[in-house]
Amino acid sequence: MTDQADSLRRVASQHLAGRSLPGGRHHCRVLAVTGGKGGVGKTNVAVNLSLALCEGGARVLLLDGDMGLANVDLLLGLSPRYTLQHVFDRQCELEDIVIEGPLGLNVLPGGMGLPELANLNTLDIVRLLGLLRGLERDHDILVIDTAAGIGQIVTRLALAADDVIIVSTPEPTAMVDAYGLMKALKQAEQACRLHLIVNMVRQKGEDAQFYKSLSAVATSYLEQELNWLGSIPRDESIVAGVKKHEPFFIGRPQSAASRELRRIAGLFLAELKINRPQRAEGFFARLINSMR
C-alpha cells in the first residue's frame, strides 16, 4: 500500500515532466508573508511590499494564499471575474484568473467565504502549486500572502519559500503567536530564512525591544536566527486607505510606511541581482520535497 508521500510524488512527476526551467537558470524568488495571528496587518504589508518591488523593476506575482477568506483584491480595488474556486472547479485555467494591479503587479485572487478553499487537502495544495509553476517562470518574485495561524496550508507554503517574512505588532500576545509560528516551522525542518517586520509601531524604541525579546527566545529555544527587516509606524491614514481600497504605497507614496517598504524591497531586489538563490529546483519542487 502506497503512503501519501508516494501519491504526492506521482502527482509531482506529472506536473514536472517536460517543464524544466529555461536553461536551468531562472529562479523565481519566493517570499511568504505570514503572521502568527490575525489583525497584525499582514495582508496590507504583503500588498504594499509587492508594489514596492514592482516599482523597483521586478516582475511580481502576488498570490492570495488565504484561500477561503481572500481580500488582496479588495485592498487593491480590483474586481476579479474568476478566482481560485473557478480553477478548482475546472471552469478555467490558472492563467485566466491573473489580473493586473497598480504598477504592473500581477495578482492571483483567492475566494471569499469559501470553506472548501480554506480547507484544501495536501493533494489539492500540490495541484495548485503544480499549476502555479508555469506562472513562476514568468516572474522574478512570487509574494504569497498566507492565512493567519499555523495551519497546513500556511506551513506548506512557508516551507517552500526562500524567505518567510513574519509580520507582528509590538504586543505580548503577538510575540507569543509569532514564536508559535517559528516553532511550527522549525519542527517541520524549514530551510528558509526568517525575517521580522514590526507593524503598527506607536512609540520609538518599542520595535527594537520587541525584536530583541523575540530574537533572544528564538535563539535560545529554537536555535533559529531571526533577521529584523524594519518597522512600520502606526498611521491612521493607512487605515483610511484600506477603507477606500487604495494601498498606501499608491495613495501616499512618500509616507513613512511607504519609504520603509521601499527600503525593505530594495534589500530583496539587490540580492536578487547580485546573489540569486542556489535552490534551482524551484518553489513547486521544494514543496514536494518537503512532503514526508
DSSP letter string, 134-186: HHHTT-SEEEEEEPSSS-HHHHHHHHT-SEEEEEE-SSHHHHHHHHHHHHHHH
The residues that bridge with 107 in the sheet, in sequence order, are 62, 99
**Average pLDDT over every residue of 50-70:** 88
pLDDT reported for residue 13: 44
Secondary structure letter of residue 67 according to DSSP: T
pLDDT reported for residue 11: 47
Q: At what angle do helices 122-136 and 4-16 cross, to 10 degrees?
A: 20
pLDDT value at 122 more than 80: no
- Among residues 183, 136, 179, the alpha carbon closest in space to that of 160 is found at 136
pLDDT reported for residue 82: 86
Among 26-30, 120-124, 153-157, the range scoring the smallest mean pLDDT is 120-124
pLDDT value at 116 more than 90: no
Q: Would you say 201 and 231 are in contact if contact means Cβ atoms under 8 Å apart?
A: yes
pLDDT reported for residue 262: 97
CA triple 220-225-226, angle to 5 deg: 110
Q: Which fold has domain 27-290?
A: Rossmann fold (3.40.50)
C-alpha cell at 240: 483610511
The CA-to-CA distance between both ends of the chain, in Å, stands at 16
